Structure 1
Amino acid sequence: MMTVNSFEKGGSGGGPSECDGHYHSNKDLITALSTGWYAGGSRCFKPIRITSTQTGRTVVARVVDECDSHHGCKNNIVDTSQAVWDALGLDSNIGVVPVIWSDA
């Protein structure tokens, strides 16, 4: 499932990204993965391919953060920037949408 997140300072993502300790622009194609998929940081800065099951569009985004499954994030979350939603032709006001993702 894909959710929308702000990776900017003061945004909904909270603190800086786990991969580099920095904030990132919501205009960038970036994502945070649930703890299991984040795999202790082994996917940091690696590209993943995200496909919307609703629009059929695909985008490649870079992993920059963990969506901590031990502190509220479900185990099946691809938490993405607004830019990813826009590229997939989705309305982020929906909140949660089904996607398919894989390492790119």
Structure 2
Amino acid sequence: MANTKLAVVAMLVILLQASALCAAARHHAGGGTPGVMTISNFDRGEGDLPSECDGGYHSNRDMVAALSTRWYEGGRRCERMIRITSTHTGRTVEAKVVDECDSKHGCADDVVDTSLAVWKALGLNANADDAAPITWSDA
């Protein structure tokens, strides 16, 4: 009887470890929804509007993002963290959703608009690229 209990516990441990490894593999592989990352200025400046989520401005050194209208979901993702993975570098970061990239006013349906800090953390050159392919998911 003790051997049976020990075998069951061992199987549970193995299954939990396998589940954790699969989750880690999905995280490193990027997973998530394919999109295009663009760069935006979230700082107070000429012609810039405050963020939809909190009515404030954010430093471009902060890890912040705006989602296109369908992903923004009417503000349901406000102040939530998302995970962004560069398909070029394979790096992954988390950023807080602070704004909408309005698809009715020029933003494409598949955009994650981010601060300069996100680009740098992903190892991308914002000066050389207007857009970068990414995947993203809720964190």
Q: 1:11 & 1:2 partners in 2: Cα distance?
A: 23
| 1:19-98 equivalences in 2 (<5 Å) | 19-93=53-127, 94-98=129-133
Aligned with residue 7 of structure 1, among 11, 18, 42? 42
Deviation at 1:11, TM superposition (A): 6.0
Q: Which has the larger radius of gyration?
A: 2
Q: In the alignment, which residue of structure 2 is the partner of 1:101?
A: 136
Letter in 1 for 2:72: Y
| 1:32-68 alpha-carbon deviations (Å, 9 max, x no partner) | 0000000000000100000000000000000000000
Note the residue ranges of structure 1 that are not aligned, 5 or more in a row.
none
Deviation at 1:89, TM superposition (A): 0.3
TM-score relative to the length of structure 2: 0.72
- Runs of 4+ in structure 1 deviating by more than 6 angstroms, as ranges, are none
Question: How many residues get paired?
Answer: 103
Note the residue ranges of structure 2 that are not aligned, 5 or more in a row.
1-35
Q: Secondary structure at the match of 1:65?
A: strand
TM-score relative to the length of structure 1: 0.96
Q: What is the percentage of aligned positions where both structures have the same residue?
A: 62
- State the Cα RMSD in Å: 1.0
Q: 2:46 & 2:94 partners in 1: Cα distance?
A: 22
- The answer as to 2:17 corresponding to 1:17 is no
**Structure with greater contact order relative to length (CA < 8 Å, sep ≥ 6):** 1
Deviation at 1:95, TM superposition (A): 1.0
- Of Structure 1 and Structure 2, the greater helix share is in 2
